[in-house]
Amino acid sequence: MTEPKRTTSAERLSNFSPGPAVLPVEVIEQIQAELLTLPGVGSSILEISHRSPAFDRILEETVAELRGLLGIGDSHDILFLQGGASLQFSMVPMNLLRGSGRTGDYVVTGTWGATAIKEARKEGQVHVAWDGAATRHDRLPPAADVRLSADPAYVHVTSNETIQGVQWQVDPDFGPAPLVCDASSDFLSRPLDMSRYGLLYACAQKNAGIAGVTVVVIRRDLLDRSPDGLPAMLDYRTHATNGSRANTPPVFAIYVLGLVCRWVRTAMGGLEGMARHNAAKAKVLYDVLDASEGFYAGHAQPECRSKMNVTFRLPSEELEKAFVTGAVRRGLVDLKGHRSVGGIRASIYNAMPMAGVESLRDHMLEFRAAHARSGPAGQSGAASSPARDG
Ligand SMILES: *Cc1c(COP(=O)(O)O)cnc(C)c1O
């Protein structure tokens, strides 16, 4: 092997990637310190059995950290699954819809919700309770516009649409049907009223760790709804019965998830502290948007702006390219928006420090000062021209 090249945290860039995304430096440093051997174990976390006492402890601690952060007792099970959030698009309807004779209701506020419903259609009857496609998923539905079916098996929402940057500001409430929530891109970013949720799922690699593990929090009574005959690994009961070890779980990813949970609790003041920190970061960027006289045109309507993914357009694609290139020169990376929305997307998850957000703010202010009057966009109004949409 070649001589390993040692790097330091001073070399780290400000990573605005939508996922996999930035991790807390303290967490990476702890991983680094413990990587050769877990303290007192004599083997690396990368090497130990998922049935070893060392991993028993890690799994138990991670579940306990999550229970503490989410404020849940025995009402819900916490499962660690693989296949990403994308597999939950199938597992949810397989377990809760298939053979139920009922309808799965979907509130579609962006790309991920639309992807979820596509998979659900393969499993049973679905109903679109609301879809924001007509305004390019830039908003949440007014409560009165959500039309549920008569007795839905569940109502599915996406708490934060990662691509559009549209986020439910409070826990949704659609009555007695179990609420199923894809919380992949805002999990652990703020307190949740878990009594509202029948099932909440989140891949870890946006806000809670690394790719490889997906957290499923499921109300225990819903486990009785899974039809018999499902493939064992796609049946929630298999994982609940076996404590997430029906087969080999992603040991390292669960370990990292546990470290991130502990960081949220001990360094960030729990989910309340985390929410305050995230709100303060998001405000820094949205204040720049709002003071830019349309130079930076936010995609999401102000009242449903995401505190995790800040999406906006510049007056032209040329300026957007120049913005991204200039940002890279300052060490601000992965700011290009998703191709379906275009423009810029700054993902500022839990682990993005305020200093990174402030660097981006400075770039935005300086870039606007340099370009606001040079392009066609200098004239106000150009920023919302429909010609740029798409
Ligand atoms: C990233 C993301 C997904 C997809 O997650 P995978 O782990 O890649 O399957 C699903 N939903 C939301 C809201 C996401 O942000």
Same domain for 247 and 311?
no
pLDDT at 208: 98
3-state secondary structure of 299: coil
Distance CA 149, CA 154 (A): 10
79 CA from centroid of ligand 1 (Å): 17
Query: CA 354 to CA 351: how far, in whole Å?
Result: 9
Tens digits of per-residue pLDDT, 268-281?
999 999 999 999 99
Ligand 1 centre distance from Cα of residue 340 (Å): 16
**Within this chain, do residues 298 and 371 fall inside the same structural domain, yes or no?**
yes
- Name residues whose C-beta falls within 8 Å of residue 267's C-beta, 6 or more positions apart in sequence: 24, 26
Domain boundary among 214, 241, 266: 266
* Domain CATH code at residue 278: 3.90.1150.10
Nearest CA to ligand 1 atom 7: 84
Tell me how far apart the alpha carbons of residues 319 and 362 are, in angstroms, rounded to a whole number. Answer: 16
- CA torsion 321-325-330-336 (nearest 10°) is 50
**For a pLDDT cut of 70, what percent of the chain falls above it?**
96
pLDDT for 1 equals: 80
Number of structural domains found in the chain: 2
- Set 105, 138, 171, 182: catalytic member: 182
- Answering whether pTM is above 0.85, one says yes
Collapsing DSSP states into helix, strand and coil, what is residue 82? coil
Whole-number pLDDT of residue 201: 98
Q: pLDDT (tens digit, 9 = 90+) per residue, 133-172?
A: 999 999 999 989 999 999 999 999 999 999 999 999 999 9
Peptide bond into 315 cis (omega under 30): no
On whether both 128 and 61 belong to a single domain, the answer is yes
Rg over alpha carbons for the chain, rounded to the nearest Å, is 22
Question: What's the CATH number where 171 sits?
Answer: 3.40.640.10
Low-confidence spans in the chain with pLDDT less than 50: 375-390
Pick from 266, 300, 317: which residue ends a domain? 266
Range of the domain at 168: 28-266
Centre of ligand 1 to C-alpha 296, Å, is 27
Ligand 1 nearest-atom number relative to CA 159: 13
Beta strands in 172-295 (DSSP E): 179-182, 197-203, 214-219
- 90 and 124 both lie in a single domain: yes
